[in-house]
Structure 1
C-alpha cells in the first residue's frame, strides 16, 4: 500500500513504537548476562534491539500532523503495530532456539496477544532469558502495547483516546479521571503493583525469585506462559511444600487480571458500592461459582469414599481450571482433556472460552459485558412480540441506556467472532486429522486468546503451517477485537 503525506502520522507512530520495542530487549539481554548464556543468546536480543532502534530513528524523523489521527488511522497503527512487534519479537526465538520463522512468529504472537498457546517443548532446557522474554511480552501485551506507549511518550490529550480506543474499544469509555493520560497511567500503576505483590507472595512461600517473576508476569496479564511444560502442576509434581497455597495465590491474581481494572481503581479509592453493584462483575462471579459447582457437585456425589482432603484437592483443581479458562489465562494443574473432567465440564470450558473475562481487563474472550448485552437484546425481542408496538424498550446496563449503535456493534462483533471460529475450525479440520471437537477447540483457544485445547502440545507442534498461520490471524483478531486487523485489508480504510 502506497503511503502519502496523510499516512505520515502512521509511520511516525510506528517508529515511536519501535523505539520502545528496542528498549524492551535490554531486559532479557540483562538476564542473559546474569546467567552467562553465551554469545549466541546475547546476539539473539542485541540484533533485534538494534533493528528496532534503527527503524525507529528513521521513521520518527518523518513530519506528521497529529490532527490526522482519527479512529480509522488509529486502528491501522494498532493493527500494524501489533504485527510488527510480533515479527521482530520472534527474532530471539529464531536466533536463540533455531526455530522456524512460522513457529517463532506463532510463539511471539501468542505471547503479545496473551493467548498462551505454545509450539515449544522441553521448556526447562531453554535459556532463562528466552523464557523471560516469553513472559515479558505477555506482560506488555496484557494492558496493550499502545497504552504503554502512550504513558511513556504523550503528555497532552490530542489523539490519545483514539489510540486507546483502537486497541481495546469498549462499550463504555468511562475513566477513573477525566484526563486520558492520567487514566492510562493509573491503570499501569495498578497493573505493575499487583504484579509486584504476586512476586512477593510467591517468593514468601518458597518459590524461587526467577519462577515468581515468570509466573507473576503471565498471571496478571492472563497470558499463561510458564517456564515448565507441566505449567503450574509442576509445583505439585516436585512435591513443593506449599503447592496448594501457590495455586490459591495464582487463582486470586488470575481473578484480578480478569476483572475490569477501572473497578480495581474504585475499590482502592473506597468506592466499594460501585464495585458491588457492577452488573458485569456480578455476572462474572456468578459464572465462576456456577461453573465450579456444576463440575464439582457431580464429581463429589459419584465418589462415595471422598474425604475432606480429597474434596479440598478436587475443589482447588476445579476452581483453578474454571478461573484459568474464564480469565483466558490458560494455566493448568490438570489437562482440560483429561478424564478428571467430565464431558459436561469440557463443554462448559468451551463456553467459557467464548465468554472470557470482563471488559477493561487483561483477559481475552468476547467479554462478559457483551454477553450480558446480547442476553438483554434477546429478552427485548421477546417482549416486543407481546407488548404494544408503541412500547419503548431500551437496553440498559447498570441503570444506563446503551445506545442502539453500541448494541448493533456488539451484535456485529459477535457475528465476526463466530465467523472466525467457524472458518478457522474448518481450515484446522481440512489440513489435519483432528476430530471436529478438537479442531473447534483449537480455534476457540486462538480467537479467545486462551491457550488450552483438546489435543496435545505435540500435535499442535506438528500441525500444518496453514493452520498455524490461521491461528496467528485468529489470535491477533481476537486480541484486537477483530476490527483493527480487518481494517488493514480494506482500501477505504487506508484512504
Structure 2
C-alpha cells in the first residue's frame, strides 16, 4: 500500500474542495447573506488538511488498483465530511449526522433529503447543495486527473475505482487526456442546458441550481415541490437533459469525432432509449385519467421516467399517487439505472445486458452442452473478468440491499417505506414511495438508520468495491 500517494491525492481533493466553496461564498456576497462565514471556516479547514499533504510530491509513484480504490473511498469520505461543515456551522442542519446525510446525498448525486422546507434556506446553502451534485456527477477524482499529473502511468487505476460501470476504457491513449475530454463534454452540456433555461426565462439562480442537479443527475430542488411549479418548457428541457446525461459519454466523444456509425452501434445506449420509450408509453396510458389530456400525461410520464432511470430524482408531480402499474415501472427503472460511463446511478443498463446475455448462454448450453458460446457486446467478447466482476457486484448489491432493509426496520416503519428508502439511496435515486416519496423526506429515520443509508449512498456511487475494501483486513497490509 502506497500510503504517501494516497495522502497526496486526498490532500488535493481537500484543496479542490476549498476552491469549490468559492461559488457559495460569492453567492452569499451577492445576496448579502451572513452565512458566508460558514463557508470561510470550511475552506480554512480544507486547506489546513490539504496543503500539508500536498506540499511534497511522493517519490514512489507506483499506484495499483488497491491503492486507487482506497484513495477514492477516502477522498469521497473527506469530501463529504468537510462539505457538511457549512450546514452545521450555519445552523440550518445542526446535527452532524443530518448534515452528513445531506452532503453525502449531494455528492453521490442521490438527492434524498432530511429537510422538510428547503425554501427557508439562504441562497448560498441552496446553491452549495445543488453544486455538490455537479461536483460528484462526473467524479472529483476524474476532475483532479484532468488537471494534475498525479501518478505517471498509473492514472487508470484511479479512474477505474471512481468511474461507474462494469469496465472503464480510455477514449485516447493518455488517461489525463481522457479525463479532460470527459469534463469538456460535461461542462459543454451543462452550459447548453443553462442557456436553454435562461432562454425560457427561468431566473439565473434557479437555472444554475436546476442545471447542476440535472447534469449530476442529483435532483436537489430549491422549492418544496421540486420542479412542479416551473413551466412546461423548463420541465421539457430538464427531461431532455436528464436523459442525455444518462448516456455513456463515450458515445458523445464518438459523435464529436464524427464516428457516427460507432456511436449509434452502442448496444447499451440503444437499449437505454428503448427502455425509456416503453416505460413512457406504459405510464402515460396508465395515468392518462389523472391529467387534463393525453399529451400532458406523456409529458409528465417522460419527465418522471427520465428522472428515475437516470437516478436524478426531480419530480414534477406526486407520483406516489399514481396507479400501482406506473409505480412498479418506476421501481424497476430505479434498479436498471442509466448507462455506464454516465453521471447516472443504478445497476447500469450494461450490467443488465451482460446478465441477460449470460443467462441466454446458460440456456443454450443446457440444450447443447458441447457448444462453444461467447458473450458479446458491441461485437466485442465480454471477458471472464468482466463477467465475474458483474456477478460479484450483483451478489454484493443484493446482500447490502437485504442487510440495509433489515437494519432500518428497527425504526418500525412499514415495509414499503423501508424497502424504498434503501432502494432510493443505494441506487442514488433520491425519492421513493410512501414516507420517502417525492413530497416526503428522510427526517423521520433514526440516526442509526441514517448512517446505514449514508453507507448505501456511498456504496451505490462508488459501485461497492472501493468502499468495502476499506473494511477488508488485507487492504491495509504492507507488501
Decide: shared fold, TM above 0.5: yes
User: 1:375 and 2:356 equivalent?
Assistant: yes
Deviates more, 1:57-66 or 1:443-452: 57-66
1:32 aligned residue: 28
What whole-Å deviation, never above 9, does each CA across 1:103-128 have from its counterpart, x for those lacking one?
10000000000000011122122110
> Taking structure 1 as reference, are residues 429 and 69 closer, same or farther at Cα in structure 2, changes over 3 Å only?
same
> Taking structure 1 as reference, are residues 14 and 299 closer, same or farther at Cα in structure 2, changes over 3 Å only?
closer
The question of whether the paired residues in 2 share the 8 Å contact of 1:75 and 1:487 is answered with: yes
1:322 aligned residue: 305
The question of whether the paired residues in 2 share the 8 Å contact of 1:336 and 1:453 is answered with: no
2:460 aligned residue: 478
1:336 aligned residue: 319
Displaced runs of 4+ in structure 1, greater than 6 A? Answer: none
TM-score (norm 2): 0.95
1:246 aligned residue: 234
User: 1:456 and 2:450 equivalent?
Assistant: no
Deviates more, 1:44-53 or 1:174-183: 174-183
The question of whether the paired residues in 2 share the 8 Å contact of 1:143 and 1:361 is answered with: yes
What whole-Å deviation, never above 9, does each CA across 1:345-373 have from its counterpart, x for those lacking one?
11111111111000000000010000000
> Taking structure 1 as reference, are residues 190 and 394 closer, same or farther at Cα in structure 2, changes over 3 Å only?
same
User: 1:18 and 2:14 equivalent?
Assistant: yes
What whole-Å deviation, never above 9, does each CA across 1:29-74 have from its counterpart, x for those lacking one?
1110111102xx1211001101111111111235524433110011
* Structure 2 counterpart of 1:442, from 410, 414, 421: 421
The question of whether the paired residues in 1 share the 8 Å contact of 2:139 and 2:162 is answered with: yes
Deviates more, 1:269-278 or 1:164-173: 164-173
Structure-2 separation of matches of 1:468 and 1:316: 34
2:383 aligned residue: 403
- What stretches of structure 2 of length at least 5 have no aligned partner? none
Shift of 1:453: 0.9
TM-score (norm 1): 0.92
2:447 aligned residue: 465
The question of whether the paired residues in 2 share the 8 Å contact of 1:156 and 1:181 is answered with: no
- What stretches of structure 1 of length at least 5 have no aligned partner? 236-242
Shift of 1:429: 2.0
> Taking structure 1 as reference, are residues 80 and 115 closer, same or farther at Cα in structure 2, changes over 3 Å only?
same
User: 1:173 and 2:150 equivalent?
Assistant: no
What whole-Å deviation, never above 9, does each CA across 1:284-316 have from its counterpart, x for those lacking one?
01110111122222444xx5xx99x61111110
Structure-2 separation of matches of 1:436 and 1:228: 29
User: 1:290 and 2:270 equivalent?
Assistant: no
What whole-Å deviation, never above 9, does each CA across 1:412-459 have from its counterpart, x for those lacking one?
1011111111111112222232x2122111100100000011133556
2:339 aligned residue: 358
Structure-2 separation of matches of 1:93 and 1:383: 56
2:79 aligned residue: 85
What whole-Å deviation, never above 9, does each CA across 1:460-486 have from its counterpart, x for those lacking one?
212111110000000000000000000
* Structure 1 counterpart of 2:38, from 38, 44, 48: 44
1:488 aligned residue: 470
* Structure 2 counterpart of 1:67, from 56, 61, 67: 61
| Alignment RMSD (CA, Å) | 1.6
The question of whether the paired residues in 2 share the 8 Å contact of 1:257 and 1:363 is answered with: yes
Alignment size in residue pairs:
473
What whole-Å deviation, never above 9, does each CA across 1:325-364 have from its counterpart, x for those lacking one?
00000000112211xx211111111111111000000000
* Structure 2 counterpart of 1:270, from 258, 274, 287: 258
The question of whether the paired residues in 1 share the 8 Å contact of 2:164 and 2:340 is answered with: no
Matches within 5 A, 1:207-286: 207-235=202-230, 243-286=231-274
Structure-2 separation of matches of 1:328 and 1:171: 18
The question of whether the paired residues in 2 share the 8 Å contact of 1:48 and 1:88 is answered with: yes
Deviates more, 1:421-430 or 1:181-190: 421-430
2:109 aligned residue: 114
Secondary structure of 2:320's aligned partner: coil
